[in-house]
Chains A and B, each alone.
Chain A
Amino acid sequence: MFRSKRFRRRSILLASLVITPGLSLSGCASLLHEGGAAGAGVAGASLAGAVTDSAAVTSGIGLGVNAAALAAVRSLEKRVHRTEQESIAAAAGPLNVGGTAPWSSGHLKVSIERNEHGTLTVSRLIQAGDLDCKEVIFSVDKVVKEKTARAFYTTIVCRDGEFWRWASAEPATERWGSLQ
């Protein structure tokens, strides 16, 4: 009896040892995925546990809730990131080739994504028939050791009615690597 109590205490200590580096190692996105989904999964399972005695039914409901919560977190991430893409496209829309303009992602102060800003320029017009697109080079400016470090990226934006939208398609599936 004494032994099993000690074992329990030890395993809880072990648990906290495993969790702590887990929390510090994992990036925000990973923890957001797992945390949000796990919280919902545990809540869903314990709620189901109160109603049914069957462990299989309980964990099945837990898993279902878990998957739904994960999908919700992903949809939130997509929506927040769309804001950034739309602000870049909107800033590039009125520019001609060679023109430059500042852009910023325009997230709320507290957001799951870092606010970013930089400069952008239009390098080429791509026009055919009704299509009205632009090739855009944009910088993401960061301050590292009191110096501005700029990373440059390229994308394509196209006009969709009165709005300009991000138009780059996904990479070829062979080049997804660990993107998925």
Chain B
Amino acid sequence: MTTVRRLRRSHWLSVAPLLLVLTGCTSIGSIAGAVTGAVSGGGSANPAVGYAVGIGTKSAVDSLTRYISRQRQRAGQDQIAAVVGTLPVGQSAPWQIRHKIPIGNQRGYLTVVRDIPNALAPCKEVIFSVYTGKKNEGPRGYYATTACQQERGWKWAQAEPATPRWNLLQ
């Protein structure tokens, strides 16, 4: 009996990381919610308590995951914007982002293609290329964006898409 239990436990332990890999980061909240919901549901006779605990946990873990991903994305945007600030129109320079946790490091080249003369702030239009980790590979893509100078340096300035184009983004 105990061997069977042990076997079952080890089986689950080996499956759990696979589940995480398969589902990707965005599902961590749901998994945490389901686990805590099930645990507290087991402790309390009332299924609504289990449900509420699960939802509370899911919401907390979801927003934490989003917060961390946004911080990482912002770090990449800040690197690009900082390089843009130093360049005149027509010039190119390399950029790179190295995260503290070395996942999703990226690098590439950027070119300032236009000054955006306006009454509010110095702004520039930029085209950048993105290479991922592997050597001897061409760029994964070219992208265009804008950056403006704020009090604390140059920042990414591209605003959000129009709401009718949000669809799956939300």
A-to-B contact residues, CB < 8 Å: 7-8, 10-12, 14-15, 18-19, 21-23, 25-27, 29-31, 33-35, 38, 41-42, 45-46, 74, 77-79, 81-82, 85, 98-100, 119-124, 135, 137-139, 149-155, 165-172, 174-180
The answer to whether B59 and A33 have CB atoms under 8 Å apart is: yes
List the A residue with the shortest CB-CB distance to B130. Answer: A174
Instruction: Count chain B residues whose beta carbon lies closer than 8 angstroms to a beta carbon of A.
Output: 59
B57 at the interface (CB under 8 A from A): yes
The answer to whether B141 and A18 have CB atoms under 8 Å apart is: no
With contacts A22-B57, A152-B157, A170-B169 taken as known, whether A137 is within 8 angstroms of B162 at the C-beta atoms is: no
By secondary structure, the B interface counts as helix
Contact with A along B137-148 (1 / 0, CB 8 A): 000110100101
The answer to whether A152 and B120 have CB atoms under 8 Å apart is: yes
Q: Restricting to B135-170, which residues have a CB under 8 Å from any CB of A?
A: 140-141, 143, 146, 148-151, 155, 157-163, 165-170
Which of B2-10, B38-46, B83-91, B94-102 interfaces with chain A?
B38-46
With contacts A30-B59, A150-B151, A153-B148 taken as known, whether A169 is within 8 angstroms of B161 at the C-beta atoms is: yes
